Amino acid sequence: MKLIAGNSNLSLSQSIADAIGIPLTNSTIKRFSDNEIFVEINENIRGEDAFVIQSTSFPANDNLMELLVIIDALRRSSAKRITAVIPYYGYARQDRKTSARSPISAKLVANLITCAGANRVLAMDLHAGQIQGFFDIPTDNLMCSPVFIPDMEEYQGKGEDVCIVSPDVGGVVRARAYAKRLGASLAIIDKRREQANVSEVVNVIGDIKGKKCVMVDDIIDTAGTLCNAAAALMEKGAAEVHAYVVHGVLSGPAVERIDNSVMSSLVVSNTIAATDIVKASPKIRQLSIAPLMGEAIKRIHEDRSISVLFN
Between CA 151 and CA 41 the distance in angstroms is: 38
Q: pLDDT value at position 311?
A: 60
Q: Rounded to an integer, what distance in angstroms lies between the CA atom of residue 17 and that of residue 215?
A: 31
pLDDT digits over 71-120, tens only? 999 999 999 999 999 999 999 999 988 889 999 999 999 999 999 999 99
Longest dimension (CA), the chain: 61
CA proximity to 53, closest of 115, 1, 131, 130: 1
Kindly report the pTM of this predicted structure: 0.92
Q: Topology of 2-142+291-310 in CATH?
A: Rossmann fold (3.40.50)
Which tens digit of pLDDT belongs to each residue from 272-287? 999 999 999 999 999 9
Contact (Cβ atoms closer than 8 angstroms) between residue 166 and residue 172? yes
pLDDT digits (tens, 9 = 90+) for 115-131: 999 999 999 999 988 89
Instruction: Return the domain boundaries, the chain.
Output: 2-142+291-310, 145-288
- What per-residue string of b and e applies to 270-294 under the rule 16 or more CB within 10 Å gives b? bbbbbeeebeebebbebbbbbebbb
CATH entry, 145-288, from 3.60.20.10, 3.40.50.720, 3.40.50.300, 3.40.50.2020: 3.40.50.2020
Catalytic residue numbers?
191
Number of H helices, E strands in the chain: 9, 14
pLDDT tens digits for range 1-18: 999 999 999 999 999 999
Neighbours of 164 (CB within 10 A): 28
